[in-house]
Structures are given as C-alpha cells and as structure tokens.
Amino acid sequence: MQVLNYDVVIIGSGIAGLRALFQFLMKSGEKQRIALINKAQMMRSHSVAATGGTAAVLRPEEGDSYELHAWDTIRNGEFLSDQDAVFKLVEEIPKEIYFYDHIGLPWSRREDGKIAQRILSPHSFPRCAYAGGWTGFHMVQTLYDNATKFDNWDRFEECMALDLVMLDGEIAGVTVWDLIAGELYLLKTKGVIIATGGLGRLFKFTTYSYQTTGDGFAMALRAGIPLKDIEFIQNNETSLVPSGILIGSSARRLGGKILNAKGERFMERYAPETLEMSPKDVVARAIMTEIKEGRGFKGPKGLDYVVLDVTHLPERVKKITLSSIREPVMKLTGLDIVDSPIPIRPAAHFSMGGIKTDLYGQTKIPGVWAAGEVACLSIHGANRALANSTAECTV
Ligand SMILES: Cc1cc2nc3c(=O)[nH]c(=O)nc-3n(C[C@H](O)[C@H](O)[C@H](O)COP(=O)(O)OP(=O)(O)OC[C@H]3O[C@@H](n4cnc5c(N)ncnc54)[C@H](O)[C@@H]3O)c2cc1C
C-alpha cells in the first residue's frame, strides 16, 4: 500500500466536489496539497445529467425576491426545511451564478444579453438559469477547466475511496483502491470533504447513473457520523420504462397528457387545476395509484406503466422542440414520439437526506465535511424544489 500525505482530500468530482476544490485552489495558496478522488473519470460525474437549471434570484427589479425563492423551497418541502439553511442558500446562489459567468460558463442569454432564466415547477418566478440543455455538464466542465490552471492538486481518477481512517476519534486519512491498477493507497490527511452524490442506484428503477451507489452515506455511518432525513426520497414522475432515464417536463408543459391503460387522463381526478404540471410528488403518487389499482399497462420486469402522450401536438413541436426527448426514446425503446405514446412511471431521483452537517458543511467529526447531494442541511425538507440541488452543491 502506498502512503501519501495531503492537506485536504475531496471524494467525488461532481459539482460539489469540484466547486470545493476550486475554492481551495483560489484561497489556500500553492503550498497546500489537495487530492481529488473519483471512481469514474473526473468529467463523468453524475452532475453532468442536470439539464433543467440552477435556481437563483437575479431579477429583484422584475419581481423576484429571496423571500419568494425561500417560500417556494419551504412550501414545496412540506414545511420541513431548515429555514436558516434555506435563506443561506437563496442569498448565496445569485453570487455563484455570476461567479460561474466570470470563469467562463456559457449561460443561455436573453435578447438584452442578460442571463436567461426559465420557470420550472414549483418555482413561482422564472429563476432557473440554464446553459442550453447542458447546465450540469457546463458547471462541471467550467470548474474542471479552471482547476487545471493550478498545480497543487493530484487526480485519483477511476479510484474508489473505501473508508475514512479514524485515529483516536480524529480523522487521519482515506483508503483508496485504484480500479485500473489494482493498487491500494492510504491518503493521510486532517481534512476530508465527502462529495460522493446521491444513492439512487439502491433502487431498482432510477434516473441515476450507475456510480450513484450511496458510498459516502455508508462511509460516514461506518465512521460514526449520523445521517438525517434519510426517509425522504424524491421520485421523478415521468421516467422512461424500462431504462429509467428522465423525461423532462417540457413535453407536459407543451401539452403532453398522461393516460392510463383505459385511455383516461387521470390527473383530472387527482389535480383538476394543475393536471400534469402539478408538483412531482403529486403526479408520482397519482401514477402509482393508477398502476397499483390495475389501470396501468403490463411492463417488463414488473415495471408496469402509464403513458405520456404527445402524438396530438404539432409535428414541429414533436420533431424539433422535443428532439431531446424524441432521440433517447427512439434509441432506448424503438418508439417514435411522433406517433407512439411514451411508456413512463416514477423513478427514484433525489435523496433529500444525507450526512448531517451544520450550515457550513461540518459533520460531527472536526475535519470531515460533506457537500452536495450526500450532505443534509435539511434545505429540501421532504421534497426538493427543482433546480435547487445544483444550487446547493455549489453554495
Ligand atoms: C437526470 C437528472 C437530472 C437532474 N437535473 C437537475 C437540474 O436540472 N437541476 C438541479 O438542481 N438538480 C438536478 N438533478 C440533481 C443533481 O444533478 C444532483 O443532485 C447533483 O448533480 C449532485 O451533485 P454532487 O456533486 O453532489 O454529486 P455527483 O455529481 O453525483 O458526483 C459525485 C461523484 O462522486 C463519485 N463517487 C461516489 N462514490 C465514490 C467513491 N466511493 N470513491 C470515489 N468517488 C466516488 C461519483 O463517481 C461521482 O462522480 C438532476 C438529477 C438527475 C438524476
């Protein structure tokens, strides 16, 4: 086993891990040595899948406010959010959006040149900044690109962190397994940031990539660090059967209808006013009720489903506006959304809970922090508001 010394070890190179790395690089000076570990390639973190955007109040003059962003977050979280943590998030994230802008992230723009923002449920104001359909990818890419300008960090790519090493109750290091060379490392350190993302792959049907197996949650528990809010798992309401990939809300926003096997638009019974555009949990529960009560279609591997129907929409919308849905659906199911409804059901999508930390990401053990989806400050309560997760990762 090789033994190496670092000032800080960061586990995970998603938005949270890379943002932490970049902050250290900017603030700590050349003398600090930092290790960044990722069990996949650095740029293949799950964060690249985030397409919808990052929520931030950029337009108080047009009617948005911190109070409104906080209200949308807290109400959507079923009033179980930690309100101090929510206010910290909404006050910090606008600065972060401009920070990314200044280091090169190509945010989509309005005609007047300002950063474009769109409205995504449950936000009551168009406050989700986005970079085309590739928000997460560009956040990761911009951070990684800027980090390469510094020399005082080492990449442990395709290397899996196995455990925190504790000595007399204090953090002493991290054990790491090089998945390509088979080598084992002990990285000695007094500072660890766990940024290993969510745990979607614990579930049979999920929108998450294969690397999202909850390693950080387990590592923390083994070291005696408590988890919090772990019972709250968000389901994405419209996920493609059988692969689980997320079908974005754009298809429904443009008029797509969800139908059961009897051809009924059943959301009329569950939420007659907001229908398919109701909050994620409302639509997900309605779909599962239909399936459990026998009004779904028989699916593979027990994955019974309902359908999202866009066949009645204009050709141009189906072929051009919804091309980012049409293409993967065709590839993964052989169906063309132009004339075939899309088989969907809810899938595990986000973990509201995680490693218990204070407002600054500090866990119970001094020197061990958690950041991003693996961490829990109870910002999201029982139900995360869309676009608040990339915001939390970066703040
Ligand atoms: C399909 C999809 C779309 C989404 N869209 C949005 C959106 O539009 N807006 C939004 O705000 N949120 C969105 N989310 C949620 C958001 O993408 C995630 O919550 C966020 O990207 C998590 O980032 P992270 O940095 O915490 O973790 P990740 O990006 O998951 O990165 C964690 C990294 O840690 C590595 N790792 C894990 N275990 C180990 C280990 N033992 N050793 C070494 N490395 C390890 C992983 O390989 C991974 O690279 C979406 C989620 C999904 C599933």
Instruction: Kindly give the number of the ligand 1 atom that is closest to the alpha carbon of 211.
Output: 47
CA distance 154 to 177: 15
Angle at alpha carbon of residue 86, lines to 80 and 89, rounded to 5° = 150
- Asked if 238 and 307 count as a contact pair (C-beta separation under 8 A), the reply is no
Phi, psi of 55 (to 5 degrees): -80, 135
- Asked if 211 and 335 count as a contact pair (C-beta separation under 8 A), the reply is no
For the chain, the distance separating the N- and C-terminal CA atoms, rounded to the nearest angstrom, is 36
Is residue 160 lining ligand 1, measured as CB closer than 6 Å? yes
**What's the confidence (pLDDT) of residue 65?**
98
Q: Residue 221 — very low, low, confident or very high, per pLDDT cuts 50/70/90?
A: very high
Q: Give, to the nearest 10 degrees, the angle between helix 15-28 and helix 135-147.
A: 30
The proportion of the chain whose per-residue pLDDT surpasses 70, expressed as a percent, equals 100
**What's the confidence (pLDDT) of residue 52?**
87
- Residue 20 pLDDT more than 90? yes
**295, 327, 340, 343 from 335: Cα distances, Å:** 22, 10, 6, 9
Q: Residue 29 — very low, low, confident or very high, per pLDDT cuts 50/70/90?
A: confident
Mean pLDDT in the chain? 96
Q: What is the pLDDT of residues 287-325, one digit of tens each?
A: 999 999 999 999 999 999 999 999 999 999 999 999 989
Is residue 348 lining ligand 1, measured as CB closer than 6 Å? no
- Name the residue at shortest CA distance from atom 13 of ligand 1: 50
- Residue 104 pLDDT more than 90? yes
> From the CA of 45, how far away is ligand 1's center (Å)?
6
CA distance 262 to 266: 10
- Residue 17 pLDDT more than 80? yes
**What's the confidence (pLDDT) of residue 121?**
82
Q: What is the pLDDT of residues 315-356, one digit of tens each?
A: 999 999 999 899 999 999 999 999 999 999 999 999 999 999
**What's the confidence (pLDDT) of residue 306?**
98
Q: Residue 30 — very low, low, confident or very high, per pLDDT cuts 50/70/90?
A: confident
The proportion of the chain whose per-residue pLDDT surpasses 90, expressed as a percent, equals 94
Is residue 354 lining ligand 1, measured as CB closer than 6 Å? no
Site to probe by mutation for ligand 1, drawn from 38, 174, 217 as the one with most ligand atoms within 8 Å of Cβ, is: 38
**What's the confidence (pLDDT) of residue 28?**
85
Q: Is the peptide bond before 106 cis (omega within 30 degrees of 0)?
A: no
Look-up of token digits 């923390």: 220
**What's the confidence (pLDDT) of residue 142?**
98
Q: Among candidates 248, 49, 345, 205, which has minimal Cα distance to 256?
A: 248
Is residue 211 lining ligand 1, measured as CB closer than 6 Å? yes
CA distance 194 to 390: 16
Look-up of token digits 């700590």: 28
Q: Among candidates 20, 125, 14, which has minimal Cα distance to 73?
A: 125
User: Average pLDDT for residues 152-180, to the nearest whole number?
Assistant: 97
Instruction: Kindly give the number of the ligand 1 atom that is closest to the alpha carbon of 207.
Output: 53
Is residue 39 lining ligand 1, measured as CB closer than 6 Å? yes
- Nearby residues of 210 by Cβ (< 8 Å), 6 or more positions away: 201
Which of 29-43, 73-87, 283-297 shows the lowest per-residue confidence on average (mean pLDDT)?
Answer: 29-43
Is residue 51 lining ligand 1, measured as CB closer than 6 Å? yes
Backbone angle region of 387, left / alpha / beta, with phi > 0 → left and psi within -120 to 50 → alpha: left
- Asked if 200 and 215 count as a contact pair (C-beta separation under 8 A), the reply is no
Instruction: Kindly give the number of the ligand 1 atom that is closest to the alpha carbon of 245.
Output: 1
Q: Residue 171 — very low, low, confident or very high, per pLDDT cuts 50/70/90?
A: very high
pTM of the predicted structure, to 2 decimals: 0.95
**What's the confidence (pLDDT) of residue 250?**
85
- Asked if 164 and 151 count as a contact pair (C-beta separation under 8 A), the reply is no
**10, 87, 394 from 154: Cα distances, Å:** 10, 35, 21
**What's the confidence (pLDDT) of residue 280?**
87
Is residue 13 lining ligand 1, measured as CB closer than 6 Å? yes
**What's the confidence (pLDDT) of residue 248?**
86
User: Average pLDDT for residues 370-382, to the nearest whole number?
Assistant: 97
- Nearby residues of 62 by Cβ (< 8 Å), 6 or more positions away: none
- Asked if 36 and 7 count as a contact pair (C-beta separation under 8 A), the reply is no
Q: Residue 252 — very low, low, confident or very high, per pLDDT cuts 50/70/90?
A: very high
User: Average pLDDT for residues 210-236, to the nearest whole number?
Assistant: 97
Q: Residue 18 — very low, low, confident or very high, per pLDDT cuts 50/70/90?
A: very high
**96-135 exposure pattern, b = at least 16 Cβ within 10 A, e = fewer:** bbeebeeeebebbeeeeeebbbbebbbbebbbbbbbeebb
Structure tokens, 211: 């690397």
Phi, psi of 332 (to 5 degrees): -90, -20
- Residue 123 pLDDT more than 90? yes
Which domains occur in the chain, in start order? 1-232+352-395 (3.50.50.60), 236-348 (3.90.700.10)
